[in-house]
């Protein structure tokens, strides 16, 4: 028998599954993309104002998931608590994650970016610093804290770099089925709360005094400063806002997927960044659009090829978008988000 080692196992592409359950895949993609979109907002806000890619934002999300895990562990949350308790834990989780993530984002800004901004460093130096910081944060949560606190809280920091499971707060149930597509309660919660969070942010940026300041600095920092906008405060504000959104994403992630890990941020961050670029980086509504679009494309792609190619799809989308429409679907610019 002649060996045929170069042949691929199974079918190379699988369109039948995709078109057979297209509605289901779309729903799955939307609920996944909603989380990407929330994280993408952090990239977009910072990019819109400072024109720099906050590479460490993925770790802001990671810290958020650890905060949620810590909170739920502290309260001894069991699987499937009664609905009243579940809501309390979710709300508390949101608050704690938002504080942890927002605080981390702010700390990153103060410790790393501020000294660089003073020196007018080239963008690549910002990026390298951010990569270093991101490595530091991953190692702190993956190695340093387990060594220090391993005995005190074994359920969170038992061993270095492990995948940590979380209790199921809400049991996954199919709410209703339309056109051969079942929508679960978790998918609905994730999608709706992500959209609500984004709508709130959009309102904040477009309708409030502080938001006007942000838009002014994004449009023209010098003129904004002359008009009495405190630039430093605006920069702190956008980092905190991005952090809060990442915290919300962390809560939704914990609820839906029920695990975390110190290295969780890397791939997710890259995907969220892709989403931000796809929608038009610096554009808030673009982040939503890009996130949802990427989520759908990814689920479709994983169905057509195989699920172990899933991570490649996001990168390929990123390259294609950057090649053919580097400004993204809606175009970049936070300043002109509401022209």
Q: Interface with other proteins includes 158 (CB under 8 A)?
A: no
Tell me if 76 contacts other proteins by CB under 8 A.
no
How near is the Cβ of 87 to other proteins at its closest, in Å? 38
Binding of residue 231 to other proteins (CB under 8 A): yes
Does position 315 bind other proteins by CB under 8 A? yes
By CB under 8 A, the residues from 171 to 230 that bind other proteins are 221-222, 225
Distance, in Å, from the CA atom of 294 to the CA atom of 305, rounded to the nearest integer, reads: 16
* SS3 call for 113: helix
Cβ proximity to other proteins: between 112 and 289 the closer is 112
- Scanning residues 100 to 119, which ones bind other proteins (CB under 8 A)? 112, 115-119
From CA 44, how far away is CA 39, in angstroms rounded?
9
Contact assessment for residue 31 and residue 190, using Cβ atoms and an 8 Å cutoff: yes
Q: Can you tell me which of 16, 87, 131, 192 binds other proteins, judged by CB under 8 A?
A: 131
Question: Cβ of 179: how many Cβ atoms within 10 Å?
Answer: 7
Residue 62 CB, nearest distance to other proteins (Å)?
14
Residue 223 CB, nearest distance to other proteins (Å)? 9
143 sits near other proteins (criterion: CB under 8 A): yes
Q: What share of the chain is helix, strand, coil (3-state, %, to 5)?
A: 70, 5, 25
Candidate residues 31, 44, 134, 187; the one interacting with other proteins per rule CB under 8 A: 134
Please pick, from the candidates 122, 154, 158, 165, the single residue that binds other proteins as defined by CB under 8 A.
122
Residue 273 CA neighbour count, 13 Å, CB half:
21
Q: Which of 289, 281, 283, 277 is nearest to 317 (CA)?
A: 277
How many whole angstroms separate alpha carbon 221 and alpha carbon 228?
Answer: 11
Q: For other proteins, give the closer residue by CB, 46 or 183.
A: 46
- Rule CB under 8 A: say whether 83 interacts with other proteins: no
Query: CA 288, 294, 300, 303 torsion: positive or negative?
Result: negative
Which part of the chain contacts other proteins (CB under 8 A), choosing from 13-21, 51-59, 148-156, 174-182? Answer: 51-59
In 89-243, beta strands by DSSP E: 164-165, 174-178, 181-184
Q: How far is the CB of 335 from other proteins (least distance, A)?
A: 14
Among 266, 327, 329, 336, binds other proteins (CB under 8 A): 266
Return the sign of the alpha-carbon dihedral for residues 282, 286, 288, 294. Answer: negative
Q: Is residue 14 a contact residue for other proteins (CB under 8 A)?
A: no
> Per rule CB under 8 A, is residue 329 in the interface with other proteins?
no
**CA pair distance 269, 47, nearest whole angstrom:** 14
Judged by CB under 8 A, does residue 46 bind other proteins? no
Length of the chain, in residues: 339
* Backbone φ, ψ for residue 237 (5° rounding): -60, -45
The site that binds other proteins (CB under 8 A) totals a number of residues, namely 61
Instruction: Give the residue, chosen from 318, 330, 334, 337, that forms a contact with other proteins under the rule CB under 8 A.
Output: 318
Interatomic CA distance for residues 270 and 277, integer angstroms: 10
Contacting residues for 69 by C-beta, under 8 A, at least 6 apart: 156, 164, 166, 254, 260
Question: Under the criterion CB under 8 A, does residue 92 sit at the interface with other proteins?
Answer: no
> What residues line the site for other proteins (CB under 8 A)?
2-9, 50-53, 112, 115-125, 127-129, 131-136, 138-140, 143-144, 160, 221-222, 225, 231, 266-267, 270, 273, 277, 306, 308-309, 311-312, 314-316, 318-319, 322-323, 326
């Amino acid at each position: 028998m002649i060996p045929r080692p170069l042949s691929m196992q199974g079918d190379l592409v699988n369109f039948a599954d995709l078109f057979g359950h297209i509605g289901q895949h779309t729903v799955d993609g939307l609920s996944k993309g909603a989380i990407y979109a929330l994280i993408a907002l952090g990239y977009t806000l910072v990019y819109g104002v400072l024109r720099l890619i906050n590479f460490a934002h993925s770790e802001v999300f990671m810290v958020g998931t650890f905060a949620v895990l810590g909170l739920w562990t502290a309260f001894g949350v069991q699987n499937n608590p009664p609905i009243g308790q579940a809501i309390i834990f979710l709300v508390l989780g949101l608050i704690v994650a938002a504080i942890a993530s927002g605080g981390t984002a702010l700390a990153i800004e103060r410790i790393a970016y501020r000294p660089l901004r003073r020196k007018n460093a080239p963008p690549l130096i910002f990026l390298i610093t951010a990569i270093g910081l991101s490595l530091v944060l991953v190692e702190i949560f993956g190695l340093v804290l387990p060594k220090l606190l391993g005995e005190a809280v074994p359920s969170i920091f038992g061993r270095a770099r492990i995948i940590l499971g979380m209790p199921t707060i809400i049991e996954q149930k199919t709410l209703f089925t339309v056109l051969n597509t079942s929508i679960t309660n978790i998918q609905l919660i994730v999608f709706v709360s992500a959209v609500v969070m984004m709508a709130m942010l959009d309102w904040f940026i477009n309708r409030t005094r502080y938001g006007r300041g942000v838009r002014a600095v994004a449009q023209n920092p010098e003129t904004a400063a002359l008009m009495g906008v405190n630039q430093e405060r605006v920069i702190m504000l956008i980092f905190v806002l991005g952090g809060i959104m990442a915290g919300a994403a962390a809560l939704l992630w914990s609820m839906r997927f029920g695990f975390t890990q110190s290295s969780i941020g890397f791939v997710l961050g890259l995907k969220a960044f892709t989403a931000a670029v796809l929608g038009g980086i610096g554009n808030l509504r673009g982040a939503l659009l890009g996130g949802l679009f990427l989520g759908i494309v990814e689920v479709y792609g994983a169905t057509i090829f195989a699920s172990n190619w899933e991570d490649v799809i996001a990168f390929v989308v990123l390259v294609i978008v950057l090649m053919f429409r580097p400004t993204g679907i809606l175009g970049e610019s936070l300043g002109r988000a509401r022209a």
